[in-house]
Chains A and B, each alone.
Chain A
Amino acid sequence: MRRLLLALAICLVPLGGHALSPQEVLDDPALESRAREITRELRCVVCQSESIDDSNADIAKDLRLLVRERIVAGDTNPEVFDYVVARYGEFVLFRPPFSVANAPLWLAGPVLLLFGIALSVAFVRRRARETNGPRPGLSPDEQARLDRLMRE
């Protein structure tokens, strides 16, 4: 969508063709599907938030080939990620690893949820307990107006 507006990102080589070309595809479908799984989680380093699986940039192509090389060489998925991270840094991972440094990112959701649950429970229970207090007064004029609106 608005990503289209990002289109001027350097990734767009003239004559946008395919990201993944038929020559790159591995013969073994099981290995190929693992390769796709991995390349979808790796960021193209010169692009705007595009995975190397989607990118047409040359460097993305090199990285795709590298991933496939490692898979053919017998690496497991985590080993491939480690290999790539060792060379390009954590920046290429679209899913930051669970680590102390990334703890705020991963814990934000659960912590906020627990906090929110605590607040809501307190609120709902207070509502359930409290008896009907005195209502802040409306002027007779306003009350009439409100009644009229409610009737409509």
Chain B
Amino acid sequence: MIVELGHFAVILAFVVAIVQMTVPMIGAQRGWVDWMRVATPAASVQFLLTAIAFLALTWAFVTSDFSVRLVATNSHSAKPMLYKISGTWGNHEGSMLLWMLILTLFGAMVAWWGTNLPPALKARVLSVQASIAVAFFAFILWTSNPFTRLDFPPIDGADLNPLLQDPGLAFHPPFLYLGYVGLSMAYSFAIAALIEGRVDAAWARWVRPWTLLAWVFLTIGIALGSFWAYYELGWGGWWFWDPVENVSFMPWLLSAALLHSAIVVEKRDALKSWTILLAILAFSFSLIGAFVVRSGIITSVHAFATDPERGLYLLWMLAVFIGGSLTLYAWRAPALRTTAVFSTVSRESGLVMNNLLLVVATLVVFFGTMWPLLAEILTGRKVSVGPPFFDLAFTPFMVVLAMILPVFSTLPWKRGDLERSMQPLWGVLALSVALGALVWALQTGASMLAPVGIALAAWLVLGAAAEVAGRIRLARAPLSESARRAWNLPRADWGKAIGHAGLGVTFFGIACITAWQTEDIRVVQIGQTFAKGGYDLRLDDVSRTEGPNYTAETAQLTVLRDGTEIGALFPEKRFYPVQRMGTTEAAIDRKLSRDLYITLGDAQESGGWAIRTYVKPFANWIWIGAMIMALGGVVSLTDRRYRVGAPARREAAGSAVPAE
């Protein structure tokens, strides 16, 4: 019964979405205020209905209702509760419903908090948002219904893929979807602006927080996924340039570009039509991602949906949303005129370069991801494009970006003076280069990767610090004066500095792990000790253990440093009998300076066990850096000027915040 209620709620939500798509748009075109007002309650109702449907599906998973086809094929009664709940979206249909939950949530958020939007703009935004919802609800109802019942329910389910039975599944997809779907807001605002034919500073101010929010979620989602793959897949890779990863990375790069170009629209009334195009592209790449993951066109063997019917539907959707929006853009964008004037050396031109690098880097990733498909269609050749290509073709863009970032982010708007802006940075530059040289002198190999990477990382972090120090006149004014200035520095500027420093931290982690990771593969007898990376590791025991829905072989290793025990590690090999599949559970001793990463291999015929040990220097800095970037975004979001909120709320909060 509850499941049928969920099914019914999806159908109702679909109908409400159709109403929300049409009525407010007609109202906005004709200037009928009461028709426009329909959008607000419709968005709330749509969200409420989707939430009911989502809870109903979760209920089916939690109670292991195997008469529901989706539960029978993706769950098992012995599965731990956490994975029963997160298993709701560990499959195609359920993840689509999560996608819808988030899509309708964003729509509802605009409805609730967008009271400062002009009524016509709000109506159009919500109408465009609803058109996306209509397409996806139809997709769910006609090709991917999660509520289908089985005539003959099995006694127990087929279980969830063991690799997904991890807390990572509870957090990674929701964050990623919050990011993907969050970009739909920027898209809806862009389409609404094109229909209205005007983009101004106020528009940029409304659209930027939503983009920032989406970007923050995407950053966290991608970092979580990378972190999860790092410990779960058993060889400690953190990025594989896999097509499925690339399709999440492209919207991230584009939303980063969009964030920056929207600043130019807001502050300088320039780059308007470009910003609109970026907003369209960012969400289009989210849709392309959904298509690639769910159609199986690039990765033909895939856990998610390899159904050609779904692929075809999604392809149509891409054609309508991307083709439609670009056509509208081509028609209306020429009317958007830039009035601002700025010189060649200015913050504006710096942000143009930022956008150029990020967008071309995105296209390189896109081309690399699609090339195998294109080559096969065009010439019938089967080719592969993997990490070695992307490392070579993508990295230069990031290097140049890091090189110019601290310089241009301190340049003033309109007309800058390169010499003056560089003045506080010469010291930083010298320090960074010296650090790189020191690293180069210390390391044994002649590889330039670590020295260059670390110099760039230092340049980014110190550059961000120098900018803040300059703004608050640190050491040039009394400390109390600096503290006052720091307090009064807009949160957006703090966010910018924190975000850029976070990028530097990630650069540092990537450079170190790539240049200095070492590994060791050997057969170890029980009781035997071996040395690795300054540690002695003793294999004490390998025993059979039982988990709730798996059996495992668990090794116990003692870590010794100079003869004293400093810890124990328990790498595991698990076997999940329902899915007849094994997983490797690495044991990781985490430190800020290095990860000691151990996996257990097969028992050897000669006795003993294969043990693989890695020392991964500064691995955690990759994800810490990503979290710092996300923190920068959050800090910037709390800036009074960008806060996602209604003026009423802002005024209420304003009294508690000291005046700037």
Contacts and interface: CB of A to CB of B under 8 A. Distances in A.
A91 B575 CA distance: 33
A104 B364 CA distance: 11
B216 to A, nearest CB: 17
Interface in B293-309: 293, 299, 301-304
Contact of B379 (A2, A3, A101, A124): A101
A113 to B, nearest CB: 5
B367 to A, nearest CB: 4
Contacts of A15: 573, 575, 582, 602
A129 to B, nearest CB: 8
A101 B381 contact: yes
Contacts of B575: 14-15
A143 to B, nearest CB: 10
Contacts of B293: 2, 5
A152 B601 contact: no
Interface string A1-14: 11111111110111
B303 A6 contact: yes
A116 B360 contact: yes
Contacts of A113: 356, 360
Contacts of A95: 385-386, 388-389, 392
B521 A96 contact: no
A18 B338 contact: no
A72 interface: no
Given A1-B226, A94-B389, A152 B521 contact: no
B482 interface: no
B612 interface: yes
B395 to A, nearest CB: 11
A128 B341 contact: yes
Nearest to A109: B364
A1 B303 contact: no
A76 B222 CA distance: 39
B418 interface: no
Interface in B203-259: 205, 222, 224-226, 228-229, 232-235, 237, 240, 242-245, 248
B315 to A, nearest CB: 20
Interface in A12-58: 12-22, 25, 40-41, 43, 48-49, 51, 54
B164 A5 contact: yes
A149 B415 CA distance: 25
B537 to A, nearest CB: 15
A8 B90 CA distance: 13
Interface stretch (B36-44, B317-325, B344-352): B344-352
Contacts of A135: 339
A89 B382 CA distance: 8
B599 A127 contact: no
Interface residues of A, number: 66
A43 B386 contact: yes
A51 B386 contact: yes
B134 to A, nearest CB: 26
B201 A91 contact: no
A3 B242 contact: yes
A2 B233 contact: no
Given A1-B222, A48-B302, A96-B389, A18 B233 contact: no
Contact of B341 (A90, A96, A123, A127): A127
A44 to B, nearest CB: 10
Interface string B353-371: 1001001100110011001
Nearest to B300: A48
Contacts of A3: 229, 233, 240, 242, 244-245
Nearest to B336: A136
B303 A91 contact: no
B383 A90 contact: yes
A105 interface: yes
Nearest to A124: B349
A147 B534 CA distance: 64
Nearest to B363: A112
Nearest to A7: B163
Interface string A63-97: 00000000000000000000000000111111110
A138 B303 contact: no
B383 A25 contact: no
Most buried by B among A9, A131, A150, A152: A152
A90 B379 CA distance: 13
B302 A4 contact: no
A143 B218 CA distance: 35
B443 to A, nearest CB: 16
Contacts of B202: 145-146, 149
B299 A6 contact: yes
Nearest to A19: B235
A45 to B, nearest CB: 9
A49 B200 contact: no
Given A48-B301, A95-B386, A116-B356, A128 B343 contact: yes
Contacts of A124: 342, 344, 348-349, 352
A91 B168 CA distance: 33
Contacts of B601: 17-18, 21-22
B616 interface: no
A49 B340 CA distance: 48
A136 to B, nearest CB: 7
A9 B388 contact: no
A127 B602 contact: no
Interface of B: 161, 163-164, 168, 172, 176, 198, 200-202, 205, 222, 224-226, 228-229, 232-235, 237, 240, 242-245, 248, 270, 293, 299, 301-304, 337-344, 348-349, 352-353, 356, 359-360, 363-364, 367-368, 371, 374-375, 379, 381-389, 392-393, 397, 521-523, 573, 575, 580-584, 599, 601-602, 604, 610, 612, 640-641, 647, 650
18 contacts: A1-B222, A1-B245, A8-B302, A10-B301, A13-B582, A18-B584, A21-B521, A21-B602, A89-B382, A91-B382, A96-B371, A96-B384, A101-B379, A105-B375, A112-B364, A120-B353, A138-B200, A146-B201
List the 8 shortest-distance A-B pairs measured between CB atoms, nearest first.
Answer: A1-B225, A94-B386, A15-B582, A95-B388, A18-B601, A2-B244, A7-B163, A109-B364
Given A14-B582, A94-B388, A109-B364, 16 more contacts: A1-B244, A2-B248, A4-B229, A5-B164, A8-B303, A9-B302, A18-B521, A21-B601, A22-B522, A25-B521, A40-B388, A90-B381, A93-B383, A108-B364, A109-B397, A112-B364
